[in-house]
Amino acid sequence: MTLTFNSNRYGELLSQYQPKLIRTEAENEEALAIVETLMQRPQRSPEENELFALLITLIEKFEQEHYLPGAVSTPRSRLLFLMEQRQLQQADLMELLGSEDAIAAIFNGDREISTFQAKALGAFFHVEPGLFI
């Protein structure tokens, strides 16, 4: 069964959470709390996935501007962010990404995440695989 995107439900979520550009540490903490709540849901709806991706983008923008000025979001940085939120280590992704050498190459920036790996990571984190490409 394929879930379809419900614009009305998404509008309700937007109304409930009211995501906006993050300008303060307090707003960042609020957004992180919502992301954490959404991450804990085992079966997010397509609308919740969209809100999740939007919040991650807003959080990354704030953190890049305030913690890493001049840094650009990359598939690797998005993976590291999601791992940090779930308190995961590289070894926790061994089955998804392959060998220890492959994981080390990705985390060292020596190798890009493959399309196959991006799909596996997307399914694992319940996000669009495109975040990792």
User: Does 79 score more than 60 pLDDT?
Assistant: yes
For residue 80, what is the domain's CATH number?
Answer: 1.10.260.40
State the Cα torsion 68-90-83-105 to the nearest 10°: 50
Token pair, residue 87, equals 């308190």
pLDDT tens digits, one per residue of 52-76: 999 999 998 888 887 765 556 788 8
Distance CA 133, CA 123 (A): 14
* Tally of domains within the chain: 2
pLDDT tens digits, one per residue of 4-14: 899 999 999 99
Let me know the angle formed at the C-alpha of 94 by 91 and 99, rounded to the nearest 5 degrees.
115
Whole-number pLDDT of residue 118? 92
The verdict on pTM exceeding 0.75 is no
Q: Do residues 59 and 79 both lie within one domain?
A: no
Residue 2 belongs to a domain: no
